[in-house]
Every structure is written in structure tokens, then in C-alpha cells.
Amino acid sequence: MTAASGRLRVGVLVSGRGSNLQALLDASARGDYPAEVVVVISDRERAAALDRARAAGVEALYVNPKDFADREAFDLALVGELTARGVSLVCTAGFMRILSPAFTRAFAGRAMNIHPSLLPAFPGLHVQRQALDHGVKVAGATVHFLGDGAVDTGPIILQASVPVHPDDTEDTLAERILTEEHRLFPEAVRLFAEGRLSIVGRRVVVRGAR
């Protein structure tokens, strides 16, 4: 399908396994889904996510950060690749680099990230470890717009919670959260594509919320 189909053109930034990318690709494959992934860009050449894109017939692009003088130059190259493909929404799905204002301003209100905690709790890395160490009884996942401040702080679009079990390890908790991530991210993209999200201050208003 092309832009002529009227579907929202989505670019996905990845670094690793790509299970969230897969959820977006699977959603895109459904004809009645209002968005389609048109390009997947990785900062790591061997990211499994690139193989998932190729398998789905979606353009897979490796952009090597070492080819650029600094973070801004790399980020502007990403902006260029995405813009050249008519991307209207960017999803970061396990993208392990912090995006500078050069990127976040270019896609302000048009870039979203998935994070495996109930933000604002536990931003950053090793999130399940943080949750277990803190002893929380409920964990979860968050989809949020990228802000141009600190990581994992932008306006929250959707969240889902899961219980934390006494015998959980990082892996078992991560698995339970991932199940929610794979549902939440395509849903957030769908809401965006349907024009049902607006950012009011730091809140995201979801119109026609069910």
C-alpha cells in the first residue's frame, strides 16, 4: 500500500530484537488498520529487527552513527531519511540512543516511544530490575510522545498495568509487560492515525475513548 491508500506513513527506529516492531508490522498487515510501516531504521547493523522488516517486505535501513561527526548530525540524517519517505509518525521501539532536540523538534507531537514501566516511575534502563528492587506490586507499560527534555518524560498516551508476582525475575516480569506493550503500541498508533490524540500541556487527550 502507498500514500495513495490514505494510510498514515510510519517510520520505526530500532536497535535490537524488534518484538514491538513486529506488533506494528502485524497491525500494518491488516487492511483495515489506518497506518502502515514504510521504513525501519536501525543504528545497529545486525539488529534482528531489520530482519523482521525485510521479512515483512518493508524497507530496512542501517544508519551507522560512526559516519557522523556528532549526535545532532546523526539525528538530522534520520530526520532526512524519514522525511524523504513521507513519514508522518515516528515510533521508537527499543531504539537505544537518546534523540537530541534536532530530532524531537522536527517530529514534535509526531514521535512516540514505548517504555516498559508505568511512567513516571522507573525511566531509563534496566527498568524491570528497578521495579523489582523497589518492591512495587504493579508494573506495566507506557506509550508516550517524545519530549525534548529528559528521556521517558513526554506526554503519556496509553498505559497498561500488570501484577508483579513474588517469584518474578527480570525475565518473567519483562515477558508479562511485553505482552501489554505489543497490544498498546499498535493501539496508540491507531489512535494517532485516526486523529484522536491531542496534546494539551503535558496531557494527551484521547477523543472518543472507549
Helices (H) and strands (E) in the chain, counts: 6, 9
Contact segment (CB under 6 A) with ligand GRF among 54-62, 70-78, 114-122, 161-169 equals 114-122
115 is known as an active-site residue: yes
Q: What angle do CA 37, 113, 173 make, to 5 degrees?
A: 110
Q: How many CB atoms lie within 10 A of CB 22?
A: 18
Per rule CB under 6 A, is residue 18 in the interface with ligand GRF?
yes
- Minimal distance in Å, beta carbon 116 to ligand GRF? 4
Q: Which residue is catalytic, options 115, 134, 144, 182?
A: 115
Per rule CB under 6 A, is residue 25 in the interface with ligand GRF?
no
Per rule CB under 6 A, is residue 16 in the interface with ligand GRF?
yes
- Minimal distance in Å, beta carbon 61 to ligand GRF? 16
- Cα dihedral sign, 117-122-126-131: negative
Candidates 52, 115, 144, 176; binder of ligand GRF (CB under 6 A) is: 115
Cα(156)–Cα(45) distance, rounded to whole angstroms?
31
Cβ partners under 8 Å of residue 81, min gap 6: 11, 39, 41, 61, 63
- Minimal distance in Å, beta carbon 146 to ligand GRF? 12
Per-residue mark of binding to ligand GRF, 153-192 (x: CB under 6 A):
-------------------------x--x-----------
Q: Which three cell numbers stand for residue 70?
A: 556528532
Give the C-alpha distances (Å, rounded to integers) separating 85 from 65, 160, 162: 20, 32, 37
Catalytic residue set:
115
Contact positions vs ligand GRF (CB under 6 A): 16-21, 93-94, 114-116, 178, 181
